[in-house]
Amino acid sequence: MSMAFANDGSERADTPILEVHELTIGLPSGGDRSSAVQKVSFSVGRGEIVCLVGESGSGKSVIAQSVMGLLPKSLPVKSGRILLQGEDITHASQARLRELRATRMSMIFQEPMTALNPVMTCGDQIDEVLAEHTSLSASERRAKVRSIISEVLLPDPDRIIASYPHQLSGGQRQRIVIAIALVLDPVLLIADEPTTALDVTTQAQILRLILELQKNHGTGVLFITHDFGVVAEVANRVAVLRLGDLVEIGPRDDVLKRPRHAYTRMLMSAVPKLEVIERAEVPGAPVVLEVAGLDKTYFSKRWLGPDRNVVAATDVSFSIRRGRTLGIVGESGSGKSTVARCIVRLIDPTGGAVLLSGDDIATKSSSALHAVRKRVQIVFQDPYRSLNPRRTVAEAMIEGPMNFGLGRTEALARARNLIELVRMPASSLDRYPHQFSGGQRQRICIARALAMEPELLVADEAVSALDVSVQAQVLTLLADIRERLNLAMLFITHDLRVAAQVCDDVAVMSKGRMVEYGTATQVFTAPRHEYTRALFDAAPGRGFDFGVAA
């Protein structure tokens, strides 16, 4: 079910709802640069969706907050003007800004799980806006709340009104946030990464909802994201930001398909395609990992209350040959990380077999496990918490090998050439983790894993936390290492594009079960299970081919 494309960029309303002229916003002193945003100008017309896109540190969120007047004191607006329907609100009084918020301009945020006040009912949180800005009676307000709830396609409004945020799912909560934002029918909606924290399927529904509401109410939308798939899906016009500068702006197809600025071009090429890169299979490569009927259930014995057992993964079976990469794809809660942790024996599986080169490590006691540790290594998702802040990179690298008898000098030598392998300067060995960026830290983690010369490398969402350009660097690095060391790899991800680019074989998991398993090409081109098909359909910007270098 592909997305019918609503309207193209050419139709422009008469006066723009939002105009931003030469906006410059300062940074607190001592930062690595003087201002967060320099001389940015753009406008948003009625019924138009403008996407602000850029990597972390590009200033896109700062711009959004400056429009709403929510900037903290440490980020002052140094120069430039912001006009809302012609009215200059750059330095408007707090009272005036409060009048405009939710009535004329609204904002929705990234984290649905924490965007709502946990101790107030959803009904009250919507009602609060009406009470503040209108003089409607309680019953009128209640009716309005019920109508907006049904408008955001939430079932059984009365139950929703009385329920607390923690009783709703992520998607439902985001609908409540949208209801709050649009209940007073503002002319401008600012959406700051509204779907980034949601699963692919939920993300698709929310995007469709936003498009629908925007069409019916003719609201102008300033849409902030770093996901180019989403940009391709919703944007009329696109503005690309790099470290606070507006490098390119224009209609969606011009910017995405025919990028003019070098940075945009680099970004377009960094976005992994949905097409599989096939690699010749080396015949006769030995099976490194054989998993048969793996189960993992969390038992919680409550003394008086009912027992609550959570089945994290059941009956998972697959195998990986030397030099091949198996990707496990699935939404959050599907059990993919549980499988990875069972294999690395960070948690103990409750059933099934895990054969590492024929040696079953599923039921090994902790002492016998020691030898096994050397042969399988893992790289985690969050680079900022994978390295011990109090120890230097060198100490982190040599800790593993020295546990297995290697002398300090040989371990240091191995560390030095591994740091080269991951293309990091030799001087980084005696520095502390807090002196490196996210991408650099992830490379160090990879080097640390390789120092053990493992047979199997497990990457658990290893690139999900990185910016697009950094992600590309790390993926190329991994591909290069895989070739050189003929390494078997297990790659866990929720991003289909990354899976397509990296994996030879793909397994799809949903609610703890493996619903599909086959070669990448076969799964991507002819998915058998309808859940896989739904997954592919929900992937944003699915049919869009981003700017191939001119």
Partner 1 sequence: MATSASPVPAAAPGAAAPDFEALSVESATVVVQPSLWQRVRRNGSVRLGGAVLLLLVAIALAAPWLGTVDPSLFDPASRDLLPGKSGEITTLEGETIEHTFRMGSDSFGRDIYSRVLYGTRVSLLVGLFTAVVAITFGTLLGLMAGYLRWLDGILMRVMDGLMSIPAILIAIALVAMWRGSLLTVVIAIAIPEIPRVTRMVRSLVLTIREEPYVEAAISLGTPTWKIMLRHILPNTVAPLIVQGTFICASGILVEAILSFLGVGLPPDIPTWGNVMAEGRSQFNEFPHNIFFPGIFLAVTVLAVNILGDGLRDTLDPKMAKRV
Partner 2 sequence: MFAFLARRLAATIPVLLVVAVLVFLMLRLTPGDPAAVLAGDAASPEQIAQIREGLGLDKSIPEQFGIWFGRMLHGDLGKSYYYKTEVTTLVGQRLEPTLSLTLITIIVAVLVAVPLGVLAAWRFGGWLDRTLMGFSVMGFSVPVFVLAYLLIWGISLKLGWLPVQGYKRIADGLGPWFIHLLLPAITLSVVYIALIARVTRAAVLETLGEDYIRTARAKGLPESKVLMRHALANAAVPIATVIGIGIALLIGGVVVTESVYAIPGLGRLTVDAVLARDFPTIQGVILFFSVIYVVINLLVDLSYVFFDPRIRY
Residues that bind partner 2 (CB under 8 A): 68, 70, 97-103, 106-107, 109, 111, 114-120, 128-129, 132-133, 164, 166, 177, 180-181, 303-305
401 vs 100, 309, 382, 449, 481, CA distance in Å? 61, 38, 23, 10, 19
445: left (phi over 0), alpha (psi -120 to 50) or beta: alpha
- What's the min distance (Å) between Cβ of 28 and partner 2? 13
Q: Which does 548 bind (CB under 5 to 8 A by kind): partner 1, partner 2, none?
A: partner 1
Q: Which does 399 bind (CB under 5 to 8 A by kind): partner 1, partner 2, none?
A: partner 1
Q: Which does 240 bind (CB under 5 to 8 A by kind): partner 2, partner 1, none?
A: none
- What's the min distance (Å) between Cβ of 435 and partner 1? 5
- What's the min distance (Å) between Cβ of 344 and partner 1? 5
Q: Which does 472 bind (CB under 5 to 8 A by kind): partner 2, partner 1, none?
A: partner 1
Task: In whole angstroms, give the CA distance from residue 244 to residue 63.
Answer: 9
Give the residue with the Cβ less far from partner 2, 133 or 208.
Answer: 133
Q: Which does 177 bind (CB under 5 to 8 A by kind): partner 2, partner 1, none?
A: partner 2
Give the residue with the Cβ less far from partner 2, 223 or 524.
Answer: 223
- What's the min distance (Å) between Cβ of 210 and partner 1? 19
Give the residue with the Cβ less far from partner 1, 5 or 143.
Answer: 5
Q: Which does 180 bind (CB under 5 to 8 A by kind): partner 1, partner 2, none?
A: partner 2
- Burial state string for 32-49 with b = 16 or more CB within 10 A and e = fewer than 16: eeebbbbebebbbbbbbb
388: Cβ contacts below 8 Å, ≥ 6 apart: 396, 433
Q: How many CB atoms lie within 10 A of CB 513?
A: 16
- What's the min distance (Å) between Cβ of 274 and partner 1? 5
Are 372 and 394 in contact, with CB atoms under 8 Å apart?
A: no
Angle, alpha carbons 95-140-109 (nearest 5°): 50
Q: Which does 365 bind (CB under 5 to 8 A by kind): partner 1, partner 2, none?
A: none
- What's the min distance (Å) between Cβ of 182 and partner 2? 12
159 vs 149, 170, 550, CA distance in Å? 11, 17, 55
Q: Which does 298 bind (CB under 5 to 8 A by kind): partner 1, partner 2, none?
A: none
- What's the min distance (Å) between Cβ of 117 and partner 2? 4
Helices and strands in the chain, H and E counts: 20, 20
- What's the min distance (Å) between Cβ of 362 and partner 1? 16
User: What stretch of H or E contains 377?
Assistant: strand 376-379
Give the residue with the Cβ less far from partner 1, 121 or 196.
Answer: 196
Give the residue with the Cβ less far from partner 2, 178 or 415.
Answer: 178
Q: Which does 46 bind (CB under 5 to 8 A by kind): partner 1, partner 2, none?
A: none
Q: Which does 385 bind (CB under 5 to 8 A by kind): partner 2, partner 1, none?
A: partner 1
Give the residue with the Cβ less far from partner 2, 222 or 376.
Answer: 222
Give the residue with the Cβ less far from partner 2, 195 or 338.
Answer: 195
Task: In whole angstroms, give the CA distance from residue 180 to residue 101.
Answer: 11
Q: Where are the alpha helices (DSSP H) in 246-373?
A: 252-257, 262-270, 336-343, 366-373
Residue labelled with tokens 């009272």: 95
Q: Pairing mode, if any, of strands 376-379 and 77-84?
A: unpaired
Give the residue with the Cβ less far from partner 1, 85 or 269.
Answer: 269
- What's the min distance (Å) between Cβ of 152 and partner 1? 22
Q: What single-letter DSSP state applies at residue 252?
A: H
Task: In whole angstroms, give the CA distance from residue 470 to residue 476.
Answer: 10
Give the residue with the Cβ less far from partner 2, 220 or 272.
Answer: 220
With 0-12 / 13-18 / 19 or more C-beta atoms within 10 angstroms meaning exposed / middle / buried, residue 525 is exposed
Give the residue with the Cβ less far from partner 2, 1 or 95.
Answer: 95
Written as one letter, the residue type at 433 is P
- What's the min distance (Å) between Cβ of 233 and partner 1? 15
Give the residue with the Cβ less far from partner 2, 75 or 468.
Answer: 75
Written as one letter, the residue type at 132 is E
Q: Where are the alpha helices (DSSP H) in 295-435?
A: 336-343, 366-373, 393-403, 408-421
Q: At what angle do helices 170-182 and 122-133 cross, to 10 degrees?
A: 10
Task: In whole angstroms, give the CA distance from residue 423 to residue 444.
Answer: 10
Q: Which does 128 bind (CB under 5 to 8 A by kind): partner 1, partner 2, none?
A: partner 2
- What's the min distance (Å) between Cβ of 107 and partner 2? 5
- What's the min distance (Å) between Cβ of 133 and partner 2? 6
Task: In whole angstroms, give the CA distance from residue 258 to residue 272.
Answer: 17
Q: Which does 270 bind (CB under 5 to 8 A by kind): partner 1, partner 2, none?
A: partner 1
516: Cβ contacts below 8 Å, ≥ 6 apart: 506, 507, 508, 523, 527, 528, 529, 531, 532
Are 387 and 433 in contact, with CB atoms under 8 Å apart?
A: yes
Give the residue with the Cβ less far from partner 2, 194 or 454.
Answer: 194
